[in-house]
Amino acid sequence: MTFVRPRTAQEAVLSELRRMLVTGELAPGEPLRQEALAETLGVSRVPVREALKVLEGEGAVVHEPHKGYVVAELSVDDLVEVYRLRELLEAEAIRVAVPRLAATDLQALVAAAADVDAAGRSGDVTGMTEANRRFHFLLFDAAGMPRLSRTLRQLWDATDVYRSVYFSGVTNRQRVKHEHHDLLVALRAGDTEAAVRAQHAHRDNSVTAVTAALRRA
């Protein structure tokens, strides 16, 4: 049982706010009233504020003194920028990670990819984004570069809101499955550059789909 209740209220608030952001329960541009959030979550304003400070640091919300916090709005330019930075940093992570991949890492990757599929088949969008993230960061973390992982997490966080949109489409789900498979094949073969290319293609399809969704909105 790895079922640890958060040791502090701020941690609980933080993960709940993250969930609400990812699911769109809190929509971009929406002002965040501290008192209301506190009451909803059954805590006082203090832990809410500290959680919001963390989210501000991640760029998920923006803060104006004496005016309050607002859910960040991502422009198309922002999105393109985030994906360009991901391109640079993920290539580095994969190049370092692939030669270091152990058999257990590969097993974990295969399992995570299977989880993505399973969640996809049952239409569980949240579970799918979670498993997808786990899959990719298993690979990135294998590079053994904590600062890089951390930076990549920030970039992923910034676009998490739109990732769920992506996964809700059936054709996208099919494509993701194949792309993960391609990546796994490259990893198993120890072919670093093929892995980099696979990740690039995967990300490219994602940015195209999400950009389209964003323009419609």
Partner DNA sequence: CGTCTGGATATTGGATACAATCTTGCCAGC
Partner DNA sequence: GCTGGCAAGATTGTATCCAATATCCAGACG
Spell out, one character per residue from 56 to 75, where the chain touches a copy of itself: x when CB under 8 A holds, - when not: xxxx-----xx---------
Backbone angles phi, psi at 32, to 5 degrees: -105, 105
Spell out, one character per residue from 44 to 63, where the chain touches DNA: x when CB under 7 A holds, - when not: xxxx-xx------------x
Residues 133-192 that bind DNA (CB under 7 A): none
Residues 84-123 that bind a copy of itself (CB under 8 A): 84-85, 88-89, 92
Query: Cα dist. 30→24, 89, 183 in Å?
Result: 10, 31, 37
Least distance between a copy of itself and beta carbon 147 (Å): 5
Least distance between a copy of itself and beta carbon 200 (Å): 15
Q: CB-based contacts of 39: which residues, under 8 Å, 6+ apart? A: none
Q: Among DNA, a copy of itself, none, what does residue 81 contact (CB within 5–8 Å per kind)?
A: a copy of itself
CA atoms within 13 A on the CB side of 67: 9
Spell out, one character per residue from 181 to 210, where the chain touches DNA: x when CB under 7 A holds, - when not: ------------------------------
> Between helices 9-22 and 45-58, what is the axis angle to 10°?
50
Tokens standing for 170? Answer: 């059936």
User: What is the dihedral sign for C-alpha 103, 105, 111, 116?
Assistant: negative
Pick from 119, 106, 133, 84: which is nearest to 189 by CA? 106
- Where on the chain is the footprint of a copy of itself (CB under 8 A)? 7-8, 11, 46, 49-50, 53-54, 56-59, 65-66, 78, 81-82, 84-85, 88-89, 92, 145-148, 150-151, 154-155, 158
